[in-house]
Copies of this chain bind each other. A is one copy, B any other.
Amino acid sequence: MSTTISAIASTTKTSSEKKSIGIIAGGGALPSAVAEAAIQDGHDVHILGLVGEAGKEIEAFPHSWFKWGEFGRLFKILAREECRYVVIIGSVSRPDLTQIHIDFGAIKTLPFLFSLTFGGDDSILSRIVNFFEDKGHIIVGAGDVAPKLLAPAGQFGKYKPSDRDLKDIELGFDVVHQLGMLDVGQASVVAKGYVIAVEAAEGTDDMLKRSANLRQWGKSRLFGSAKRAGVLVKRPKPGQEMRVDMPTIGPRTVELAGAAGLAGIAIEAGSVLLAEKEKLIACADKLGLFLVGLEKS
């Protein structure tokens, strides 16, 4: 699998060959950002926006809309636009399969749909990748098409972590790594040596909201300092299907980390997507939070 990605990535980067890339788009700013980067590199793109998830802004690019379950239509569009390469990007609510519109093309995929109703994230996402690849498409990661959206290594805002923060970061990375081996979560909040919250199915935003209420754990219990303390760490799980499920942070993540009283955010360099990077950094600088990308250990 990983050799396939690298092969594609290097082809995409080194050859000037024009490609047609289908971008299956969920919500948020990333689908358009990926489309823009691909066009800058001279490729053709066609965005396939998921109704109810993708935003209107995708209409600035060549695009079509599809609904959950319209797999027949999806593959017809990809064929019509000659998109051999496919990027799946943007936020989606996990589909409520009782509500989906099943088209004729989807009937053949019922065994596949059944297979999605059990198991952890990684197994579901691997099945999705295989499903596309069985039909002759090549799934490429958003980070391969638009590497400038990836978190850089080192400090990338105005503030830097303290020695205390670095210890929290180390513990948080350990926690996420250990859990990741069991296909759980991508993020954790640690303050002053105390693990405040661990993300499972609720997502990073919900975990940060909870951490705001648990802020007392992070404060000096003797002096009740109001100073920022603690860190959000986010990194992929070991073996995470990075082509279709890359960890992402955006301005909203920074806002919630700020509201939780945290001192900053640490992410794995090269492995986390930054949505609206400039806005994200400006937001961290304004709130006084550090942003740091750590090399994979």
Contact = CB atoms under 8 A, between A and B. Distances in A.
Given A201-B214, A210-B210, A221 B116 contact: yes
List the number of copies, as a whole number. Answer: 2
Interface string A179-222: 10111110011001111111111100010001001101100111
B195 A117 contact: no
A222 B175 contact: no
A114 B222 CA distance: 7
Contact of A117 (B181, B206, B221): B221
Contacts of A198: 179, 184-185, 198-200
Interface size class of A (residues with CB under 8 A): 35 or more
Given A94-B221, A221-B95, A221-B97, A202 B210 contact: yes
B175 A179 contact: yes
Contacts of A119: 192-194
A200 B214 CA distance: 10
The 4 closest A-B pairs by CB, nearest first: A98-B224, A184-B195, A117-B221, A198-B198
Interface of A: 94-98, 113-114, 116-121, 171, 174-175, 178-179, 181-185, 188-189, 192-202, 206, 210, 213-214, 216-217, 220-224
23 contacts: A96-B224, A97-B224, A114-B222, A117-B222, A118-B192, A120-B193, A120-B195, A175-B179, A175-B182, A178-B181, A179-B179, A183-B195, A184-B198, A194-B201, A195-B200, A196-B200, A196-B201, A197-B200, A197-B202, A198-B198, A201-B214, A201-B217, A206-B210
